[in-house]
Amino acid sequence: MKGAFYTGKYVNLFRKYGYDEKEIEKKLEDAYMTIFYGADDERFYFETDNDMAYFLDTGNLDARTEGMSYGMMMCVQRDWKKEFDKLWKFSKTYMWNPEGEYKGYFSWSVRPDGVKLGMGPAPDGEEYFAMALFFASNRWGDGEGIYNYSREARAILHECVHKGENGTPGKPMWEPSNKLIKFIPEWDITDPSYHLPHFYELFALWADEEDRQFWKEAAEASRQYLHKACHPVTGLAPEYSYYDGKPYRKDNRERYYSDSYRVAANIGMDYSWFGKDEWQRDCADNIQRFFCETVKGKTDLIYEIDGTIINEKALHPVAIIATNAECSLAANDTKNRRECVDLFWNTPLRKGDRRYYDNCLYLFALLALSGNYRIWMKQ
């Protein structure tokens, strides 16, 4: 299959399954308005003084590079430049490190008032920042200062690859020997949900010219890594793993748990955009078969990656439903695919203090399944 990068066509699975176009758009608009401008106990976008805003992790009461970069991606997909710029200004003002070991990286967690809670970075934030900034450059054009989006994106990726070279302090976010993203720069392990080959394909077009071959190779390395990390029967991935795909068996990180859910979504997106890896179809089928047939819809539990049930409740059950549906973009057209899409359509946004993570993944799934999660190229 040739993906949307080559054809310019994005699959609207909701419409394929008979949902009304106006209802699809209403569902998407309602989700955006709830997350950004709903009541205080529904939204998690909050504006501050000096034209800034942050996404609040409502379970931990901080702002994280994960959420800030997610918010920027949501905004550029919806053509919300004002909100995008506010989130980016907060990120660059309070999270970016201008000096020291983490110079050029973003502190992964800050308080809503901007005080840093953790100096080190979380690499998934950097890759989403860079991708959202490239899309902003292509959709809106570059501005001045921090709003020169493409320059900012290239600077982020340069640090991710080259930090620590020539005696400079710090470590890169991608392991140079195998081109796999790290969980954090200091640890020689990875997080399966950080692997975004569909982003790396685009970085290979828009990053500094000297690094473009690196990103081409990183895209293929991540695809091959996921073959090893995802269980061959269930399709489930652990939260963290070693570079060979074997689960990281400390602190229960070998389980299918919160971070892990994003792997299904990422597989769906990579296949939808580029269609380079037919294995992704089998993996998506395995995931959907596991939830629809093996455990028959039990999306509120924790699992070992082989499918063994852990008698504990999942922290983010709506996220499981959303990402199971999003991997439909790779799955074969089976009854399980339809079941996952229908279940997601009939699931509302989450409420309560854990709504942030679930509803981020919910909105991305809405965008993807309605054909609105798009590659923005220069016109």
Largest Cα–Cα separation, the chain: 59
CB count, 10 Å around CB of 125?
A: 25
Q: Please, is 121 exposed, middle or buried when counting C-beta atoms within 10 Å of its C-beta (0-12, 13-18, 19+)?
A: buried
53-91 burial, b for 16+ CB within 10 Å, e for fewer?
A: bbbbbbeeebbbbbbbbbbbbbbbbbebeebbbbbbbbb
Q: Of 85, 191, 259, 339, which is the active-site residue? A: 259
Average of per-residue pLDDT values in the chain: 97
**Model pLDDT, residue 42:** 97
Six token digits for residue 176: 């140079």
Among 285, 378, 375, CA closest to 77: 375
In the chain the beta strands, taken as DSSP E runs, fall at: 45-48, 52-55, 63-64, 109-110, 116-118, 174-175, 180-181, 255-256, 301-304, 309-313
**Model pLDDT, residue 9:** 97
Q: Which residues contact 162 (CB under 8 A, 6 or more apart)?
A: 172
Give the alpha-carbon dihedral of 252, 181, 133, 76, to 10 degrees.
Answer: -40
159-189 burial, b for 16+ CB within 10 Å, e for fewer?
A: bbbbbeeeeeebebbbbeeebbbbbebeeeb
Average pLDDT, consecutive stretches of 10 residues, N- to C-terminus, the chain (379 residues): 95 98 98 97 96 98 98 99 98 97 97 95 98 98 98 98 93 98 98 98 98 98 98 98 98 97 98 98 98 97 98 96 98 96 98 97 98 95
CB count, 10 Å around CB of 193?
A: 22
Report pLDDT digits (tens) over 37-91.
999 999 999 999 999 999 999 999 999 999 999 999 999 999 999 999 999 999 9
To the query of whether residue 66 is one of the catalytic residues in this protein, the response is yes
**Model pLDDT, residue 112:** 98
* Contact of 329 with 337, CB cutoff 8 Å: no
Among 368, 361, 330, CA closest to 77: 368
To the query of whether residue 259 is one of the catalytic residues in this protein, the response is yes
Sign of the C-alpha dihedral, residues 141, 142, 143, 147? positive
**Model pLDDT, residue 379:** 77
Q: Of 66, 159, 175, 358, which is the active-site residue? A: 66
Angle between helices 21-37 and 355-369 (to 10 degrees): 150
